[in-house]
Structure 1
Amino acid sequence: MKIAYLMNTYPLPSTTFIRREIEAIEARGHGIRRFAVRAWPQTLVDPRDTSERRLTHYILSGNLRGLLLAPVREIAVNPRGLLRALKPWFTLSRKARDGFVRPVAYLLEAIYFRQRAAAEQIDHVHVHFATNAATVAMLARLMGGPRYSFTVHGPDEFVRPERLGFDEKIAHAQFAVAISQYCRARLSSLGRPEDDRKIKVARCGLALEDFAAVRARSPDTATLVCVGRLCSAKGQVLIPAAVAGLRDRFPDLKVVLVGDGENREEIAAACRLHGVADRVVFHGWASNAQVRDLIASSRALLLPSFAEGLPIVIMEAFALARPVISTRVAGIPELLDDTCGWLIQPGDAADLARAIEEVLLATPAQLEAKGAVGRARVMRLHDRRTLARTLCQLFGATAANPVEARGHAS
């Protein structure tokens, strides 16, 4: 089989898990062709992401001429396929309520991708996230392009699920992957009953070998690390108040924010308001190796999110034998409990402060015990080799029993 991966924006700092997944499948002997709709416009900080960008073929970025010529070729060589895709395209466009330009862009991207996949003899394409890249893969399939599947993560995909056309995308897909049981339940409620068998659970995986040489250190540190995009969903804006309430009792308390994003100034303003600008440190984006080092040197990982799927960074902290403070949302309780960390209510500043206090009062032995439970759990559930084996089995099964590309729409 010739397999392709199709993403919206790739690579970027938050898609390390996709790169790890691709590498693990390639380690099983499958070559993977990378496609993305667009390139990330900012500077990549991890050298492996820089290398990955060179391997990625971009459908939209720097390819305006190719996109405009694609429909002319399609009308000439595949008019029936193009017609077959138009009704589902219109249905998805109506559901998405994205105006006129975006749906037309998705159609052009799908036409171009079908032609490129045919030229490269791609048999199957896998997509991460059920957004525009999944739309492109579905439309390309309806035109006669490669079979497709997609992985759903949340939480953004579930904010307005009716606009993403989950029922259509699952119906035409070979299978859909949910990263947790919570995610599977949501997908099951959004698809057609007859397609429920297509929804598989395959948990995201780590390159555990990257964590083998890194061990937790500085057990007496009072530094916590929060890793993630600085945005409202991650809840970092609650951290300054919690730190302010604890600083007198714990004068060495510090929280390092690793990442950047649209909420940076709001968080900085909260730091100034509570007088903790010297206690909450803005680190910015970091390479994978730097993130591992920062977590390993911390007392615990802190992730007070309002909305999540199942954060990779929790898996990374556990792989480094560090306990975690996070919230009871989505799939997080499937991995995190009181044996390996602290679960708090999202948006509850008092609960957040209580958990941080308990982390600071815990002995090195107690922290080590929680970290050991987390490490054992992530090694059992989130090894990328297990994920790659599962995906390869699914790819192989779909090659033997392909879903017909139907042109109906609900």
Structure 2
Amino acid sequence: MSTLRIAYLVNQYPMVSHSFIRREIQALERRGVEIERIALRGWRADLRDDGDKLERQKTRYVLQGVLSRLIWTALLVALLHPLRCGGALALALKLARGSQQFWPVHLAYLAEACVVARWLKQTKANHLHAHFGTNSAEVAMLASHISGVPYSFTVHGPDEFDRPVAIGLKEKVRRSAFVVAVSSFGRSQLFRWIESSDWPKVKIVHCGLEPDFHNFAVGPLRNHRRLVCVGRLCAQKGQLLLLQAASLLANRGVAFEIVLAGDGEQRELIDSEIERLGLTEHVHVTGWISSDEVRDTLLSARGMVLPSFAEGLPVVIMEAMSLRRPVLTTYIAGIPELVLHGVNGWLFPSGCVEALAAAIQVCLDTPAEEIEVMGEQARQRILERHDIDQQASNIATLFGRSDVSIARKRA
């Protein structure tokens, strides 16, 4: 079989929260797949991770440079392929009609797609794959229409499931060669919004971890009382609820420490709540940290807590479990497919402060020997379900199928 040349398209790459994309790309390259990295933005991002810095050097950026270059390229592609660009324009305007964005935004996506389409031809890419079903998937769909190169995309959630009609999810799936869901839950949510005739297109490929992340000796768990919450500081991750639960425990005289590893739009609010609730001795915020720092932070704790309100299937849960740390998290989305209550972690109802506080108390009271057993169970589940080389093999098979290479959009 000829060499697979796959173009990966992401809205912003690399990013500290998108390490799973980097892992997938690098695992495919280990299999001999040639990857062209394309991102709309991200060349000026503040990066902590050396691996991300190297990835940035390998990435082409659609919006880097002067606006005139983007406009000129779009006009050139339109002159070379007037019929295809006309069809792509009609498609962009069709999506604009149901969108929450102003129609000029979709014309901007079309201009970006012209740049991507030109690069696809220059690199002789066999296939275009986008991560996330939002704007990057729209650019991929339009670029595919212009270039004739088939496309696919990975849906992570929850953003795609919050507004499936507004982002034209049905149309994107209908015109794709295939679509990846990262969990059974994600597949079921796609089934809700697409035609049943397109259900066979939806494949499950898990996010994965490379062996280097967890293939090292982990010493015995110290009998400390620290938990860590890793994630963007935002409403859907539930850190404000975690502070309320921490306040309940502190008022009961419980000894504990919670580390919030991450940053985000709610950083100022969270800092003020820590002060207001008198939790400065119990709760600490690290800001953005690198992958190695995430690993060290997880290893320094008894377990990880993630009180999310909305998720797909969080990669940080996989990371914690691979490091033999049980997880305290919510009964939502794809999480129960991975975390088994009382076996490798604890599950509690989302949005319930009392249940969250109770789960933390149980974790703190569990003897270190039992925590270690649960941690080993957690690691085994990750090895079984989330090995990045196996998952890369699965998606490479999808890229290489003959029906993918000839898949075309339906009118």
Q: How many residues align?
A: 407
| Shift in alpha-carbon separation, 1:402–1:236, aligned structure 2, 3 A | same
User: In structure 2, how many angstroms separate the alpha carbons of the residues matched to 1:20 and 1:371?
Assistant: 23
Matches within 5 A, 1:11-410: 11-39=14-42, 41-215=44-218, 217-247=220-250, 252-338=255-341, 339-398=343-402, 402-406=406-410, 408=411
Kept in 2: contact 1:4–1:125 (CA 8 A): yes
| Secondary structure of residue in 2 paired with 1:224 | strand
Normalising by structure 2, we get a TM-score of 0.96
Q: Structure 1 residue 304: deviation in Å? A: 0.5
Report the CA distance between 1:246 and its aligned residue. 1.9
8 Å CA contact retained: 1:174, 1:398: no
Deviation of residue 101 (structure 1)?
Answer: 2.9
Q: CA deviation at 1:214?
A: 5.0
Distance 1:378 1:40 in 2: 32
C-alpha deviation, 1:384, in angstroms: 0.4
How large is the Cα RMSD of the aligned pairs? 1.5
Q: Secondary structure at the match of 1:281?
A: strand
- Measured in 1, the distance between the counterparts of 2:192 and 2:249 equals 43
SS of the aligned residue for 2:200 comes to helix
Query: SS where residue 174 of structure 2 aligns?
Result: helix
1:70 positional shift:
1.6
Gaps spanning 5+ residues in structure 2: where? none
Where does structure 1 differ by over 3 angstroms across 4 or more consecutive aligned residues? 248-252, 398-401
Contact 1:144/1:405 (<8 A) preserved? no
**Residues in 1 aligned to 2:92 and 2:68: alpha-carbon distance in whole angstroms:** 22
From the superposition, tell whether residues 217 and 285 of structure 1 become closer, same or farther in structure 2 (CA, over 3 Å): farther
TM-score for the superposition, normalised by structure 1: 0.96
Gaps of 5+ in 1: none
CA contact (8 A) 1:216 1:322 kept: no
Deviates more, 1:14-23 or 1:191-200: 191-200
Residue 218 of structure 1: CA displacement? 4.0
Instruction: Provide the C-alpha distance between the structure 2 equivalents of 1:68 and 1:359, rounded to a whole number of angstroms.
Output: 57
Q: Could you tell me how far 1:94 is from its partner in structure 2?
A: 1.2
Shift of 1:217: 4.6
The residue type equivalent to 2:203 in the other structure is K
Does structure 2 conserve the Cα–Cα contact (< 8 Å) formed by 1:268 and 1:277? no
Asked if 2 retains the 8 angstrom alpha-carbon contact of 1:220 and 1:364, the reply is yes
Matches of 1:71 and 1:356 in 2, distance apart? 55
